[in-house]
């Protein structure tokens, strides 16, 4: 082979290799391109297939549900008033000597209002009303007055409905960092023994339901009267309190005293079997109850009796009549000096001077000053420290 032939063969081989390479390259590119196109089409087809998407979503939902259930069982219980965790402004309260104290042991004074009878005026236990009381009136406690007689809990009312209103009150006060008093409002039934069994059953169930609610306070007999003496009230309290303590060892319990909760000075003569975290109730109506009752309070404090004013007004004892601002000022001085908590009667628009909302005002929250009557305006100013 001469040199010319050798060069020709070399050139032909190089061209052949180049051609082969080019064909392979083109073939590879084509395959890659085809694969890309196919996969794009797959994506498009997938996303336009509702059934398949639905299946995925459903599956995710199921697994999320499972997760929630799992979490629910372990650490996130469904939030209801009875098992939600509320953090009232002063934490869990207790009684130290004659004082109500916060979770760190410092004296605190609760201030707030009481509903009227829940069988008559349940509409004021609503979210906006409690916000108004908390934010505008600066109240940190609400008393839920559940009458036993007078068509109330033990005399014809719908028990379930009343308990629902209480549940609302517990929830809404909890959400507003307030405290809440569940009041067994005996009045025309005079003697707490009349509904003693009902009281034990009621407080047993309430305390089981709200055992983890640090903001719930139990008032076991509003105003014993007509001859119910302290020894008898004490026996009643010694019987009812264990129904609460079986569920809640340290809730604050309020116990009414003889003569429409005025004879607080009787308590020290015959103390309760277990008076831990118990306070004794004094009620006053400033235009009727003056120095005499104020002296009784001082006497009781001197004897070491812790006092809580769970109901008062600045009119007379009928819940009506003129207001006595002078006597009211003396009462406030006594209460503030001794850190005694107070709750004003009543949040309703009834035609009576203790009802804090004007009778012509039908709003159930967000009252302007002009929509409150005189006792309401006084109460709001007093709580606001004005």
Burial class (CB in 10 A: 0-12, 13-18, 19+), 258: buried
Question: Closest separation between CB of residue 317 and ligand IDC, Å?
Answer: 5
Among 285, 331, 342, 367, binds ligand IDC (CB under 6 A): 285
150, 163, 219, 223: which is the annotated catalytic residue?
A: 223
Identify whether the C-beta of residue 209 lies closer than 8 Å to the C-beta of residue 162: no
Identify whether the C-beta of residue 375 lies closer than 8 Å to the C-beta of residue 384: no
123 a catalytic residue: no
Nearer Cβ to ligand IDC (213/228): 228
Nearer Cβ to ligand IDC (244/315): 315
Is residue 352 a contact point for ligand IDC (CB under 6 A)? yes
Identify whether the C-beta of residue 78 lies closer than 8 Å to the C-beta of residue 237: no
361-369 own/partner pairs: CB under 8 Å, 24+ apart: 364/123, 364/124, 364/126, 364/128, 364/129, 365/126, 365/127, 365/128, 365/129, 365/131, 365/132, 366/128, 366/132, 367/132
Is residue 187 a contact point for ligand IDC (CB under 6 A)? yes
- How much helix, strand and coil, in percent to the nearest 5, is found in the chain? 45, 15, 40
Cα–Cα dist 149/58, whole Å: 54
Is residue 124 a contact point for ligand IDC (CB under 6 A)? no
Question: Closest separation between CB of residue 208 and ligand IDC, Å?
Answer: 27
Nearer Cβ to ligand IDC (155/247): 155
Is residue 179 a contact point for ligand IDC (CB under 6 A)? no
Identify whether the C-beta of residue 342 lies closer than 8 Å to the C-beta of residue 306: no
337 a catalytic residue: no
Is residue 351 a contact point for ligand IDC (CB under 6 A)? no
Token look-up 């349940």 returns 122
Nearer Cβ to ligand IDC (108/335): 335
Nearer Cβ to ligand IDC (222/257): 222
Token look-up 């929509």 returns 371
Is residue 183 a contact point for ligand IDC (CB under 6 A)? no
Among 350, 358, 363, 371, binds ligand IDC (CB under 6 A): 350
Among 167, 219, 223, 263, binds ligand IDC (CB under 6 A): 223
Q: Please give the residue ranges that form the binding site for ligand IDC (CB under 6 A).
A: 150, 187, 222-223, 260, 283, 285, 311, 317-319, 345-346, 350, 352, 354
Catalytic (active-site) positions? 223, 311
């Amino acid at each position: 082979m001469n040199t010319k032939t050798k060069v020709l063969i070399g050139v032909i081989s190089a061209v052949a290799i180049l051609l082969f390479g080019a064909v392979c390259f083109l073939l590879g590119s084509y395959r890659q391109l085809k694969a890309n196109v196919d996969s794009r089409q797959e994506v498009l087809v997938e996303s336009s297939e509702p059934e398949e998407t639905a299946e995925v979503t459903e599956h995710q939902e199921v697994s999320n549900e499972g997760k929630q259930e799992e979490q629910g069982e372990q650490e996130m219980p469904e939030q209801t008033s009875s098992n939600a965790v509320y953090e009232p402004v002063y934490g869990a309260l207790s009684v130290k000597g004659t004082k109500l104290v916060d979770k760190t042991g410092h004296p605190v004074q609760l201030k707030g209002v009481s509903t009227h009878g829940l069988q008559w005026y349940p509409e004021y236990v609503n979210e906006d009303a409690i916000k108004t009381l908390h934010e505008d009136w600066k109240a940190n406690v609400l008393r839920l007055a559940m009458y036993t007689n007078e068509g109330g809990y033990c005399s014809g009312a719908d028990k379930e409905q009343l308990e629902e209103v209480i549940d609302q009150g517990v929830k809404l006060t909890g959400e507003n960092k307030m405290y809440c008093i569940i009041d067994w409002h005996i009045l025309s039934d005079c003697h707490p023994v009349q509904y003693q069994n009902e009281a034990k059953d009621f407080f047993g169930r309430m305390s089981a339901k709200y055992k983890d609610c640090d903001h719930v306070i139990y008032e076991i007999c509003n105003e014993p009267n007509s001859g119910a003496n302290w020894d008898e009230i004490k026996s009643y309290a010694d019987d009812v309190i264990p129904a609460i303590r079986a569920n809640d060892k340290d809730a604050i319990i309020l116990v009414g005293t003889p003569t429409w909760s005025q004879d607080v000075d009787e308590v020290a003569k015959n103390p309760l079997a277990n008076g831990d975290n118990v306070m004794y109730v004094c009620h006053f109506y400033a235009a009727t109850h003056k120095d005499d009752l104020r002296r009784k309070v001082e006497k009781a404090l001197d004897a070491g009796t812790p006092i809580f004013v769970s109901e008062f007004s600045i009119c007379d004892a009928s819940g009506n009549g003129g207001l006595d601002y002078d006597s009211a000022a003396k009462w406030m001085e006594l209460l503030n000096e001794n850190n005694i908590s107070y709750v004003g009667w009543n949040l309703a628009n009834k035609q009576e001077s203790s009802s804090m909302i004007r009778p012509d005002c039908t709003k159930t929250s967000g009252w302007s000053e002009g929509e409150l009557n005189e006792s309401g305006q006084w109460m709001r100013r007093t709580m606001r420290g004005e």
